[in-house]
Amino acid sequence: MSIQISDPSIIINNEAINVVPNSVTYDDGLGEQTVMVQSAGNGKTSTVYSNNVETNVGAVKFSMRSTVQNANFARALKSNLNRNVIVVSGITPDGKSLTRTMTESAYTNKLETPLSQDGVIAIEMMGNKMTL
Amino acid sequence: MKSEIDFKLNVPFEYAVNGGVETASLLVLKAPSNKQRFQRAKLKEFFYVAFGESREESSDAKETTEPKDAVQAEPPTEEAFAEYVVQTLYTSSKVKMVEVIDEFKQLLLSEGICKVEGSVNLTQALYDKMDAEDSDRLLGAYIGAFILASFYAKITAR
């Protein structure tokens, strides 16, 4: 029996942050690969594997409630350019854990803070490929 | 009176700095200011309660009325005194060690009190990464150097 991680912890620049439940997604930054065919004629073919290194970018997406503290934190994150480090980790009740670290990451999407009852700040961070 | 001390970690941990991850093996500790007066007072109180208890016990046993490590021909080194502080607190039945640790954590996490490798503020996330033994040694070193500085000066002056 396996248990899914649905309650991860996010640590940015050594600070644990509060996120909207079920809003965390990460991309290891392993990118896109393609497999193409080459032909030697007479029906003989072989495949060529190609890694599109342009897509080797790590990413983390999550949302935070639009509190004053979170709005200021998001602003500081944006101002810190690509000098942010994010650690995403999770542990299941049966003790299995997952940890990913993304260095040199930047807050890339527009910082919008909705001032509404259910407003959330969407954050998309991009940086180096994730390390374990 | 010192205003800053360096504390070497036996078990280094990783921390984020300037967009990268580095290994920390040193903490730079600053003396508490009036901003941390309540935590400072609490920690001092904890120690004196534990110290008083240890004195009572030793006088009951008709032994010396001075702390074992504090009364020596040679004055204790700072390391020995730090160890004595931790030992006194742990062995006290009147002082709850959980409260001591909690109070010390609050003090340590105050802005500017503890800098990892002298550059990054110690945060809750980093504190959680610290080895428990290092954490105990840190408690003794900090209390010994800053909170009980006058007590230590008295012992060493004898």
Give Rg (Cα) of chain B: 16
Give the domain extent around B76: 35-111+123-157
**Identity of the residue in B16, B17, B125 whose CB atom sits nearest the CB atom of A16:** B125
Instruction: Confirm whether pTM is higher than 0.90.
Output: no
Contacts with A13 from chain B: Cβ below 8 Å = 16
B2 belongs to a structural domain: no
Residue B66's pLDDT is 52
Residue B92's identity, in one-letter code, is S
Residue A107's pLDDT is 97
Q: Which of A14, A105, A125 to mutate to test the interface with B (most CBs of B within 10 A)?
A: A14
Cβ partners under 8 Å of residue B76, min gap 6: B69, B70, B84, B155, B156
Inform me whether the C-beta atom of residue B129 falls under 8 Å from chain A C-beta atoms: no
Residue B69's pLDDT is 54
Number of H helices, E strands in chain A: 1, 9
Contacts with B125 from chain A: Cβ below 8 Å = 11, 14-16
Give the whole-angstrom CA distance, residue B78 versus residue A61.
48
Q: Which of B116, B117, B123, B130 to mutate to test the interface with A (most CBs of A within 10 A)?
A: B123
B58 belongs to a structural domain: yes
B20 belongs to a structural domain: no
How many residues in chain A? Answer: 132
B13 belongs to a structural domain: no
Q: How many CB atoms lie within 10 A of CB A19?
A: 18
Residue B135's pLDDT is 95
State whether A14 and B123 contact (CB < 8 Å): yes
Give the whole-angstrom CA distance, residue B152 versus residue B158.
10
B40 belongs to a structural domain: yes
Cβ burial A56-77 (10 Å sphere, 16+ → b, else e)? ebbbbebbbebeeebbebbeeb
Residue A129's pLDDT is 96
Query: In the beta sheet, which residues pair with residue A33?
Result: A51
User: Regarding beta strands B114-116 and B120-121, do their DSSP bridges make them parallel or antiparallel, or are they unpaired?
Assistant: antiparallel
B24 belongs to a structural domain: no
Give the whole-angstrom CA distance, residue A47 versus residue A34.
10
User: Regarding beta strands B20-30 and A97-107, do their DSSP bridges make them parallel or antiparallel, or are they unpaired?
Assistant: unpaired
**What is the interface pTM, i.e. ipTM, of the complex?**
0.82
pLDDT tens for A23-47 read 999 999 999 999 999 999 999 999 9
Inform me whether the C-beta atom of residue A14 falls under 8 Å from chain B C-beta atoms: yes
State whether B21 and A85 contact (CB < 8 Å): yes
**What φ, ψ does residue B133 adopt, rounded to 5°?**
-65, -45
Which range is least confidently modeled, A71-80, A109-118, B71-80? B71-80
Among B135, B128, B156, B139, smallest CA distance to B50 is for B139
Residue B149's pLDDT is 84
**Identity of the residue in B19, B21, B121 whose CB atom sits nearest the CB atom of A82:** B19
DSSP B131: -
Q: Which residue has the tokens 């890694």?
A: A51
B134 belongs to a structural domain: yes
Distance of CA B81 to the CA centre of its chain: 10
A132, burial (CB in 10 Å: exposed 0-12, middle 13-18, buried 19+): exposed
pLDDT confidence bin for A95, thresholds 50/70/90: confident
**Identity of the residue in B17, B120, B125 whose CB atom sits nearest the CB atom of A11:** B125
State whether B125 and A14 contact (CB < 8 Å): yes
Q: With a cut of 70, which residues of chain B have pLDDT below it?
A: 61-73, 158
A11 CA: distance to closest CA in chain B (Å): 7
A32 CA: distance to closest CA in chain B (Å): 25
Contacts with B23 from chain A: Cβ below 8 Å = none
Both tokens assigned to A101: 């670290």
Q: How many domains does chain B have?
A: 1
Inform me whether the C-beta atom of residue B120 falls under 8 Å from chain A C-beta atoms: yes
Give the whole-angstrom CA distance, residue A88 versus residue B93.
41
pLDDT confidence bin for A9, thresholds 50/70/90: very high
